[in-house]
Amino acid sequence: MPTFKAPLRDMRFLMNEVFDFPTHYAQLPGAADATPDTVDFILNECARFCEEVLAPINESGDAEGCHFDQGEVRTPKGFKEAYQAYVEGGWQGLSHPDIYGGQGLPMSLGLIKSEMMGTANWSFTMYPGLSLGCMNTLMQHGTEEQKQRYMPQLVSGEWSGTMCLTEPQCGTDLGQIRTRAEPQADGSYLITGTKIFISAGEHDLTSNIIHIVLARLPDAPVGTRGISLFLVPKFLVDQNGQTGARNGVKAGSIEHKMGIKASATCVLNFDNAVGYLIAQPNAGLEAMFTFMNTARIGTSVQGVAHAELSYQGALAYAKERRSMRSLSGKKDKDQSADALIWHPDVRRMLLTQKCVAEGGRAMIYFAAQYADKMIAALLQDDQKSYQYWDDKLGFLTPILKGFLTELGLEAAQLGMQVYGGHGYIREHGMEQIARDARIATLYEGTTGIQALDLLGRKVLLLTRGQCVRDFSAEILKFIASHLSMKPLRGMLWTLSKLTAEWNYLTTRVMLAARKNRDVVGAASYDFLMYSGYVTMAYFWAMQASVAISKKSQGGIEQPEFYEAKVMTAEFYFAKILPRARAHAESMLAPQQSMMKLSQNQFAFN
């Protein structure tokens, strides 16, 4: 397994020089404690925890996996000790209100913490990661009594949380949910049904697990309009927050998965389990999207995490491994062969990984500032401001989740390719990264679902293209303000053409969809990927502009860091961004070719 080193230099570049987090925090209500010194201390301590505690049990956790015995799950060796260190460090409550025992720091800091943890050990990060969505759902939709009863232990990390949506007969189509909720005289409900693919659904890390469960009331309307949301604890909790009897929820099995094997993915059986309604009856789907948006942003981090870890491993190997001579002549003349890094195709792979990791990180940090403003508005009960920032973040969420996880998987596979045959065996750990990365494009909504959410729901249905026009306006404003930078003009010209084309493509698809709704489904994947490539181009141009400005000032430390930023941006525009053109052509191609075949014509046996 590659030795993980937290990319603090790049993280600080984005936070302090590109997005100016110090000013952002200074202007953010309730973020007075997020001073530069405090933030720097948190980054250093998180890096230490990840490098010294989490990374060393990543490979061993994958090899051992989780153990299941009659409804009980035991995590791999070292996980309980690592989780206890996580709790003692106060990491779970980093970005949650101090009234529940948290530190009250901005959500973006929690997301940056999750990136480091996820890169070091994604399987471990799944356990506390699911709790964050549970807490955010309770914060926004729970009653005051529910918050007081459950939040303190969730914030401390003493308890954990889950999201229970999927059932054997339905995944994305939640209208097919069959889990029942029978009302009781005391105001509680008895929950009965089976949920599958429940990450961290059962484990030995915490003393209680709080499940957030979708279920139907007896008189609920059919379809998605009849879904309610319930809180179901593993152990019942009294008014004083003390745990009591075991509730009627038990793990039936754990999944035997391709990757993230140290993360317990469970079948959960609810048998008259006591639950409590969250939000209004039959409004569970709307409340659940609080959880889903949190989860989707968190999953987009996985694309960056696996690209970063795979890049670190591939880069070290490419510098050490020797094979053949460079086509342009000997480079390591005192050696029998040149290092892999001298070969152009190896550089293509390494630079692609670098572009995904650093470009994706920029996209997430930018969106994290939106999330900070959204949460601040929520805490101030400013619904107008909350809706504004929620809409802006909602547009980016499917791009982040769909695009970055697809590219993260590509980067992980490139890491294996740099190693050649050694990448395919377990000894070097590169194949684990690829296996772990594979799930990211599937859970919390597949890439196809993200694409439909972006194009069908956010762009066409809700805003009629306005969200694309608004974000495009931000890009064009950036372009106009940086035209004086001669080294950047080529990138800016390319970016301006693609930004204009993005609006043109949106209009073309919108008009075509009026005549045939299948156009949306046929074009959505290409639309999402095109949107992702243009968005990443924007943030690479932004990083390059800062690097160019720094270089022009002179007297800077590590000038080679800024030079590398500019050259990596040039590689992205020259060798990766042209992919967008293929997506544009495919997007506008007649969709009839997809729909002509009958079911029988797909195969002849």
Average pLDDT of the segment spanning 145-164: 96
Smallest CA-to-CA distance from 34 within 10, 15, 7, 13 is with 15
Q: For position 442, what pLDDT does the model report?
A: 94
pLDDT per residue as tens digits for the range 181-219: 999 999 999 999 999 999 999 999 999 999 999 999 999
Cβ-based neighbours of 334, under 8 Å, separated by 6 or more: none
Q: For position 605, what pLDDT does the model report?
A: 74
Higher per-residue confidence, 86 vs 590: 86
Average pLDDT, the chain: 95
> Does residue 439 register a pLDDT over 70?
yes
Q: For position 295, what pLDDT does the model report?
A: 67
> What's the distance, Cα to Cα, between the start and end of the chain in Å?
44
Average pLDDT of the segment spanning 224-239: 95
Q: 291 falls in which pLDDT band (50, 70, 90)?
A: low
Q: For position 171, what pLDDT does the model report?
A: 83
Question: What does pTM read for this prediction?
Answer: 0.96
Answer whether 307's CB lies under 8 Å from 353's CB.
yes
Exposure string for 71-110, b = 16+ CB within 10 A, e = fewer: eebbbbebbeebbeebbeeebbbbbbbeebbbbbbbbbbb
Average pLDDT of the segment spanning 164-170: 94
Higher per-residue confidence, 170 vs 310: 310
Element (H, E) at 491: helix 489-515
Smallest CA-to-CA distance from 575 within 309, 325, 335, 349 is with 349
Q: Which residue has the tokens 């061993």?
A: 60
Measure the CA–CA gap between 127 and 83, rounded to whole angstroms: 9
Instruction: Let me know if 202 is a catalytic residue.
Output: no
Average pLDDT of the segment spanning 463-491: 96
Average pLDDT of the segment spanning 282-304: 81
> Does residue 117 register a pLDDT over 70?
yes
Q: Which residue has the tokens 């293929």?
A: 582
Side chain identity at 136, as an amino acid letter?
A: N
Element (H, E) at 277: strand 265-278
pLDDT per residue as tens digits for the range 329-378: 888 888 889 999 999 999 999 999 999 999 999 999 999 999 999 888 88
Q: For the chain, what are the domain ranges? A: 287-444, 451-591
Choose the CATH number for 287-444 among 1.20.140.10, 4.10.410.60, 3.30.450.80, 1.10.620.20.
1.20.140.10
Residue 167 main-chain phi, psi, to 5 deg:
-125, 165
Q: For position 454, what pLDDT does the model report?
A: 96
> Does residue 292 register a pLDDT over 70?
no
Structure tokens belonging to residue 541: 């141009």
Answer whether 406's CB lies under 8 Å from 583's CB.
no
> Does residue 293 register a pLDDT over 70?
no
pLDDT per residue as tens digits for the range 557-605: 899 999 999 999 999 999 999 999 999 999 999 888 888 898 888 988 7
Average pLDDT of the segment spanning 91-115: 95
Q: 239 falls in which pLDDT band (50, 70, 90)?
A: confident
Q: For position 246, what pLDDT does the model report?
A: 97
> Does residue 379 register a pLDDT over 90?
no
Q: For position 555, what pLDDT does the model report?
A: 76
Cα 36 → chain centroid: 25
* DSSP conformation letters of 237-269: E-TTS-EEEEPSEEEEEE---SS-TTS-EEEEE
Measure the CA–CA gap between 87 and 76, rounded to whole angstroms: 18
Beta bridge partners of 192: 180
Q: Which residue has the tokens 């609006």?
A: 503
pLDDT per residue as tens digits for the range 12-46: 999 999 999 999 999 999 899 999 999 999 999 99
> Does residue 289 register a pLDDT over 80?
no
Coil vs helix vs strand at 71: coil
Q: How do beta strands 159-164 and 208-215 pair?
A: parallel
Answer whether 50's CB lies under 8 Å from 19's CB.
no
Side chain identity at 346, as an amino acid letter?
A: V
Q: Which of 182, 444, 501, 560 is catalytic?
A: 444
Exposure string for 448-481, b = 16+ CB within 10 A, e = fewer: ebbbbbbbbebbbeebeeebbeebbeebeebbee
